[in-house]
Amino acid sequence: MKYIVGLGNPGAKYEYTRHNVGALVLDAIRREFELERWEKDNMRNSFVSKGKIKESEATLILPQTFMNLSGESVKDLSGENAKGLIVIHDDIDLPFGTLRISKDRGTGGHNGVESIISHIKTKDFVRIRIGVTPVYEGEMRKPKTEEEIEKFVLGNLNEKERQLIVELSKKIGEALVLILESGAEEAMNIYNQKSSN
């Protein structure tokens, strides 16, 4: 079983913020592959959807905790189960609309990822990182201070950005299929190269 988590904050106030792109993409993937409707899972404090992505059994998890408590939704996935974990989240170190697949690496200062690592006691799981930082004249305009970063990630996506995330969801769905069928390394070789062009 694969467990695919889309990180974000609960509630309408945060739905279309940069910090919620992981949750937005996961819902788009659920619809694309026609998995079950979201059901509340009180044990995980999440919405959960089960089904198949191509030939792979998958459980999709949308935490309903706030971002810095995301790990509570996957705390049972320690040990061997962690190897089936894929986390989709925003990344301010990447240009807007790009994706990177990574495995067994540090948090990059992301509170949701930090919480997950803290709960399952390993960083050896797959992450699909979605760039949210705008590029002007070839340069990323990344916020610098902690206060600026918080304001930035909790800021709303504009209409154009929302559309780009919808389009990116299709590519992430393809990458996800490759991860499930051929492994993360294969997907990294293809998609990390593509997104750097």
List pLDDT tens digits, range 117-153.
999 999 999 999 999 999 988 889 889 898 999 999 9
CB distance 180 to 58 below 8 Å? yes
Average pLDDT in the chain: 93
Domain count, the chain: 1
| CATH, residue 57 | 3.40.50.1470
What pLDDT is attached to residue 78? 76
Q: Which of 19, 89, 110, 119 is catalytic?
A: 19
Q: Distance between CA 96 and CA 134 in Å, rounded?
A: 5
Quote the domain boundaries for residue 44: 2-194
List pLDDT tens digits, range 41-93.
999 999 999 999 999 999 999 999 999 999 999 999 877 778 899 999 999 99
Whole-prediction pTM value?
0.95
CB distance 74 to 5 below 8 Å? yes
From residue 26, alpha-carbon distances to 15, 32, 38, 73, 140 in Å are 13, 10, 11, 15, 25
The encoded tokens of residue 36 equal: 């079950």
* Nearest in space to 29 (alpha carbons), one of 67, 56, 69, 68: 56
Our answer to whether residue 19 is catalytic in this structure is yes
Compute the radius of gyration of the chain from its Cα atoms. Answer: 15
How do strand 126-133 and strand 85-95 relate by DSSP bridges?
Answer: parallel
Q: Distance between CA 147 and CA 52 in Å, rounded?
A: 41
